[in-house]
């Protein structure tokens, strides 16, 4: 389980679980907790049982993990806290000139863009930029590619341009753009060969926390799928609202037609009565 799931279970165990209960976690309770944090019930049961065993050890006079005042790096079985991502440190294996180019490029990618910067003529659709630039699209592929213009996951630095023209390097995060560059500028080398030689061993920062619900994902792919789920839910709710509006409009139209029909029928009936009287 990820840290956010463990925090949820730890808080539930501390605030809601019965402290004197030593019985196994009820099946319906474990299922409800697993559903709430989107994991398997077996993992929930294992985690709660470990917590309970820790409390029992504490009652017998041993030191519990919660009360251990020793530094976390020296506790047996503990893992060091993850350090915040730093681009220069995560990519310190790159040559200094290359690292300087990468830092400049990534800084430009993360710079906030205006929704009216003139970059696109079509800006509609349910899938929108989560970095706040106002971009919208109707295609999932375009949406994810746009997300990675803000948070690149891969980088290519043209090996030929870097060698022949150090003052004008070609660095890009999109494979299709690099292949076009290689085909246009280095056709004699072969685009795929240049692509292979030019890919950097770049370690990206994965923005894994959902901007809508705060859930933390385990990978960039999972994060993108999760955010798309929010957009798809919005689309589904919108379709349901449209359907309800259409149904209400149809009902009103049918009612008005029925009323008009009844009036016409009464008029026709009165005419028939007058004709028979004459």
Residues 198/157, Cβ–Cβ less than 8 Å? yes
**Residue bearing tokens 């990618």:** 109
* DSSP classification of residue 216: B
63 pLDDT higher than 60: no
Indicate the SS3 state at residue 220: helix
Mean pLDDT of the chain: 75
Element (H, E) at 156: strand 156-157
CA-CA distance, 76 to 78, in Å (whole number)? Answer: 6
Mean pLDDT of 165-189: 91
| Burial zone of 202 (CB within 10 Å; 0-12 exposed, 13-18 middle, 19+ buried) | buried
Looking at residue 219, its pLDDT comes to 87
Q: Who's near 101: CB < 8 A, 6+ residues apart?
A: 157, 169, 171
265 DSSP assignment: H
Query: For a pLDDT cut of 70, what percent of the chain falls above it?
Result: 59
What span, in angstroms and rounded, lies between the C-alpha atoms of 48 and 25? 8
Specify the pLDDT at position 249.
61
Q: Which residue has the tokens 């509609």?
A: 124
DSSP alpha helix (H) spans, the chain: 3-15, 27-37, 41-59, 87-90, 96-110, 140-150, 159-164, 175-185, 191-198, 220-277
Which tens digit of pLDDT belongs to each residue from 107-164? 998 887 766 665 666 678 999 999 888 888 999 999 999 999 999 999 999 999 988 8
CA–CA separation, 58 vs 160, rounded Å? 64
What is the predicted pLDDT for the residue at 120? Answer: 60
pLDDT of residue 110: 84
Tell whether the model's pLDDT for residue 48 goes beyond 80.
Answer: no
**pTM for this structure?**
0.56
């Amino acid at each position: 389980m990820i840290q956010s799931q463990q925090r949820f279970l730890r808080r539930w165990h501390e605030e809601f679980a019965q402290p004197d209960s030593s019985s196994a976690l009820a099946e319906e309770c474990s299922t409800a907790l697993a559903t709430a944090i989107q994991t398997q019930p077996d993992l929930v049961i294992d985690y709660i049982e470990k917590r309970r065993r820790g409390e029992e050890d504490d009652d017998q006079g041993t030191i519990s993990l919660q009360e251990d005042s020793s530094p976390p790096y020296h506790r047996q079985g503990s893992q060091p806290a993850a350090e915040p991502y730093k681009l220069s440190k995560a990519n310190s294996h790159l040559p200094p000139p290359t690292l300087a180019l990468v830092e400049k490029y990534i800084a430009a990618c993360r710079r906030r863009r205006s929704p009216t910067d003139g970059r696109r003529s079509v800006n509609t659709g349910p899938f929108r930029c989560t970095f706040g630039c106002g971009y919208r699209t109707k295609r999932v592929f375009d949406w994810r590619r746009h997300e990675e213009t803000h948070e690149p996951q891969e980088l290519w630095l043209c090996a030929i341009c870097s060698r022949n023209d150090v003052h004008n390097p070609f660095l890009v995060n999109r494979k299709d753009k690099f292949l076009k560059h290689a085909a246009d500028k280095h056709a004699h080398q072969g685009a795929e060969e240049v692509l292979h030689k030019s890919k950097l061993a770049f370690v990206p920062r994965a923005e894994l926390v959902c901007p809508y619900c705060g859930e933390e994902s385990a990978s960039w792919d999972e994060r993108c799928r999760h955010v798309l789920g929010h957009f798809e839910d919005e689309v589904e709710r919108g379709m349901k609202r449209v359907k309800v509006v259409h149904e209400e409009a149809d009902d009103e139209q049918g009612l008005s037609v029925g009323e008009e029909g009844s009036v016409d029928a009464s008029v026709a009936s009165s005419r028939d009565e007058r004709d028979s009287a004459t």
